[in-house]
Amino acid sequence: MNELKQIISLRLVESDRAAVQAIAARLFVRESDIYRFAIKLFITPIQLFI
């Protein structure tokens, strides 16, 4: 698998983005770290079926 980072586009309603920003602020991490974690969290179980 290609380990290079890729740019993706993600559409969120403002309330979802505000929630992600609040989580990131509470954990003292970047907003992008929360998105990466969420994507990995949901992709891992799917990979078991592929």
Q: pLDDT digit string (tens) for 32-45?
A: 999 999 999 999 88
Q: Output phi, psi for 43, to 5 deg.
A: -80, -35
Under a CB-based contact definition with an 8 Å cutoff, are residues 23 and 35 in contact? Answer: no
Number of domains in the chain: 1
Question: 4 lies in a domain?
Answer: no
- Judged by phi (left if over 0) then psi (alpha if -120 to 50, else beta), residue 17 lies in alpha
Query: So what's the pLDDT on residue 1?
Result: 57
Residue 33 resides in a domain: yes
pLDDT at residue 16 above 90?
yes
Residue 38 belongs to some domain of the structure: yes
Domain that holds residue 36: 15-47
d(CA 5, CA 16): 24
36: in domain: yes
- Residue 21 counted as domain residue: yes
